[in-house]
């Protein structure tokens, strides 16, 4: 007799983790897994396993500390994340799951962040990562805090459009779509993940957006300019399992060690804030 799909599914997911991995990661919430997996296909179960493995890796030795994942968070990540097979989405969902492990029963913030993550297209998610990893590596705001408007304004960045296109790995067909950049940046702005003051185009057009009015662009420069938001920084931190950190921790060298090797920040980006 074939095993029930729930038993097969739980076993397949557990295979991604270390000894007692499911119970360590989820705590008592692991008991909810059977009902959640009833109608899952093999591919969706595989994606969940990869997300759980990502969360386990991000937690490291902290996985042995007391805590559990709130059921509401688990439900959202399983239902939304199970359709995400791209490695960057798996990393983000895994980070949200790791960040959600807590001793506080009512701390279900991760459910909202996971839904926000699921709402992004693959173009928007990759752009979000590129923007915030570039801000983390490029900007210096001194003693300012990112939870203040002044600090975030200083983190406005200007990126050469060609370097951004290379980081996105656009094909010629994608790059030839006249709606693509608007879809990406308007979508991120509408979701509150970058500020409303964004723009792209030649230097004479971009000059109006720059927070640093003293910064002069070369006549032949074509680029993109955007500014972070609290929600955008929060998603970036949670995506790396750092939901307990302060917003300014994105500037710490210890955080930079978590950045992905296969998607590089923009080398020639400029801090255009002031």
Could you list the residue range(s) of the whole structural domain that residue 13 is in? 5-118
Q: What phi and psi values does residue 229 have, to the nearest 5 degrees?
A: -130, 165
The span from the CA of 114 to the CA of 89, in Å, is: 10
| Segment 27-45, tens digit of pLDDT | 888 776 765 666 577 788 8
d(CA 260, CA 173): 26
* pLDDT the model gives residue 3: 40
Rounded to the nearest integer, the mean pLDDT of the chain is: 90
pLDDT for 4 beyond 50: no
Query: Which of 64, 89, 118 is the last residue in one of the domains?
Result: 118
Residues with Cβ within 8 Å of residue 243, at least 6 apart in sequence:
96, 98, 99, 100, 109, 110, 113, 237
Q: Phi and psi dihedrals of 204, rounded to 5?
A: -65, -30
Domain boundary among 86, 118, 150: 118
Q: pTM, whole model, 2 decimals?
A: 0.88
Shared domain for 158 and 105, answered yes or no, is no
What band does 212 get if pLDDT is binned at 50, 70 and 90? confident
Residue 8: its pLDDT value, please?
Answer: 47
Domain boundary (118, 142, 157) is at 118
Q: Is residue 130 domain-shared with residue 72, that is, in the same domain?
A: no
């Amino acid at each position: 007799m074939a095993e029930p799909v729930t038993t097969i599914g739980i076993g397949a997911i557990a295979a991604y983790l270390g000894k007692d991995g499911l119970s360590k990661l989820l705590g008592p919430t692991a008991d909810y897994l059977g009902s959640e997996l009833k109608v899952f296909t093999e591919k969706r179960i595989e994606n969940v396993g990869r997300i759980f493995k990502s969360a386990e890796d991000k937690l490291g030795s902290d996985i042995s500390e007391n805590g559990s994942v709130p059921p509401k968070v688990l439900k959202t990540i399983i239902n939304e994340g199970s359709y995400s097979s791209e490695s960057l989405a798996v990393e983000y969902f895994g980070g949200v799951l790791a960040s959600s492990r807590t001793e506080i029963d009512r701390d279900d913030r991760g459910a909202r962040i996971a839904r926000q993550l699921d709402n992004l297209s693959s173009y928007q998610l990759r752009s979000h990562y590129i923007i915030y990893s570039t801000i983390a590596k490029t900007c210096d705001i001194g003693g300012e805090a990112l939870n203040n408007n002044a600090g975030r304004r200083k983190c406005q960045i200007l990126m050469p459009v060609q370097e951004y296109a290379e980081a996105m790995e656009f094909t010629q067909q994608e790059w030839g779509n006249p709606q693509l950049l608007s879809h990406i940046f308007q979508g991120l702005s509408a979701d509150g993940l970058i500020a409303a003051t964004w723009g792209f185009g030649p230097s004479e057009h971009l000059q109006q957006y720059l927070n640093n009015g003293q910064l002069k662009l070369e006549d032949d420069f074509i680029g993109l300019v955007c500014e972070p938001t609290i929600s955008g920084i929060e998603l970036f931190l949670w995506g790396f399992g750092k939901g307990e950190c302060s917003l300014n921790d994105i500037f710490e060298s210890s955080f930079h060690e978590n950045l992905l090797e296969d998607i590089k920040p923009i080398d020639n980006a400029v801090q255009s804030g002031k």
